[in-house]
């Protein structure tokens, strides 16, 4: 469990956020069965690729699987740079996370030291990352949070090469270029009879309480109930970006490669009470001064665990079993 997401451990008392599940209209999701998933993953790799929100979903998946395993069942956790691997030894099954917050190469690729004043992206370069996950059997991508700025400093060339060309590019255009690089790599390198591909839609934030009718200047801090308005949408998500993702996925489909878009956005929009707020530890515990100013220091981006990412994984679980029977030879 990541301390950044362990809200109960760091003092959160209201725990109802742990107990909600998602009930879609007109269908019932299958119950999550960790043993069935491990059997599906026997001799295989499930790899999450993306940012800290995708890492939170990976943590959720590892917890859902590991807590169902007998205490005598051997398992391991190995960290190797950008790649973290949980392995269930008896199944030779691995559930992995690879840090690539912009999918393509950037100056934020260090899994620890990545908070830089000037974010630079190589929108046409992905091989450094992709060689670590191309042979996986199930790939789960996301990339949204790190793009949320008006322009991206985009590099044509290599880091450290004096001949490189840097240009500020409108964010949506740079995002589109990165998605094309990602899609082109998948088309050429993915084994279509072996690998299932998924893309997780954007995870909404709840940083402005006035969006759901509370006082301006407040955020998700002290929220204990969901938003009850049907089809509520705040300003913490960018539909234009998801349209770019849909366009890239549709283009891949026209080239004979299927990527399933798992839409977690709307169900997560309601969950203003599901964030860590001040009940967390990232690198260090929050100071008393920081705790006293939740409007400035509350984390209303990530999600407590147990919590919302468990619901995302129930959807992913359903798609893995449904898609594999129709599209992919496992």
Beta bridge partners of 274: none
Cβ neighbours, 10 Å, residue 266:
15
Question: What tokens appear for 277 in the block?
Answer: 């707020």
Catalytic residue among 51, 143, 277, 299: 299
Residue 118 designated active-site: no
Q: Would you say 264 and 29 are in contact if contact means Cβ atoms under 8 Å apart? A: no
Closest CA to 12 of 226, 268, 277: 277
Catalytic residue among 129, 137, 275, 302: 302
Catalytic residue among 52, 106, 201, 237: 52
Residues in CB range of 272: below 8 A, 6 or more apart: 206, 212, 220, 223, 226, 227, 300
Q: Is the peptide bond before 43 cis (omega within 30 degrees of 0)?
A: no
In degrees, rounded to 5, the angle at the alpha carbon of residue 67 between the alpha carbons of residues 64 and 72 is: 140
- What are the start-end ranges of the H helices in the chain? 34-40, 52-66, 127-130, 171-189, 239-254, 265-269, 288-291, 294-297, 308-326
Residues in CB range of 301: below 8 A, 6 or more apart: 53, 145, 203, 205, 207, 275
Residues in CB range of 104: below 8 A, 6 or more apart: 121, 122, 123, 124, 125, 126, 129, 178, 181, 182
How far apart are the C-alpha atoms of 123 and 157, rounded to whole Å? 10
Residue 299 designated active-site: yes
CA 250 from centre of chain: 21
Residue with tokens 């060689």: 131
Question: What tokens appear for 242 in the block?
Answer: 């998801």
How far apart are the C-alpha atoms of 168 and 111, rounded to whole Å? 24
Catalytic residues: 52, 299, 302
């Amino acid at each position: 469990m990541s301390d950044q997401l362990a809200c109960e451990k760091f003092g959160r008392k209201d725990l109802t956020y742990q107990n909600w599940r998602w009930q879609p209209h007109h269908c019932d999701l299958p119950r999550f069965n960790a043993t069935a998933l491990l059997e599906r993953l026997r001799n295989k790799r499930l790899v999450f690729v993306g940012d800290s929100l995708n890492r939170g979903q990976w943590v959720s998946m590892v917890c859902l699987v590991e807590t169902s395993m007998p205490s005598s069942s051997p398992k391991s956790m190995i960290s190797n740079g950008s790649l973290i691997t949980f392995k269930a030894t008896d199944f030779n099954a691995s559930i992995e996370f690879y840090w690539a917050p912009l999918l393509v190469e950037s100056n934020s690729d260090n899994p620890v030291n990545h908070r830089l004043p000037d974010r630079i992206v190589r929108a046409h370069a992905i091989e450094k990352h992709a060689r670590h996950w191309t042979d996986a059997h199930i790939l789960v991508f996301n990339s949204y949070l790190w793009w949320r700025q008006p322009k991206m400093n985009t590099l044509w060339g290599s880091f450290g090469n004096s001949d490189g060309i840097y240009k500020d590019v409108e964010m949506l255009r740079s995002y589109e270029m990165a998605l094309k690089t990602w899609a082109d790599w998948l088309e050429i390198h993915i084994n279509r009879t072996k690998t299932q591909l998924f893309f997780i839609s954007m995870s909404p934030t709840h940083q402005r309480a006035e969006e759901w009718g509370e006082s301006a200047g407040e955020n998700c801090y002290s929220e204990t109930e969901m938003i009850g308005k049907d089809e509520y949408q705040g300003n913490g998500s960018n539909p234009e970006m998801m349209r770019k993702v849909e366009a890239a996925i549709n283009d891949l489909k026209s080239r004979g490669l299927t990527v399933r878009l798992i839409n977690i956005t709307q169900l997560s929009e309601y969950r203003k009470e599901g964030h860590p707020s001040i009940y967390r530890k990232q690198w260090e515990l929050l100071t008393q001064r920081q705790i006293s100013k939740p409007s400035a220091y509350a984390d209303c981006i990530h999600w407590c665990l147990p919590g919302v990412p468990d619901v995302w994984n129930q959807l992913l679980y359903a798609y893995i079993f449904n898609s594999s029977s129709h599209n992919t030879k496992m």
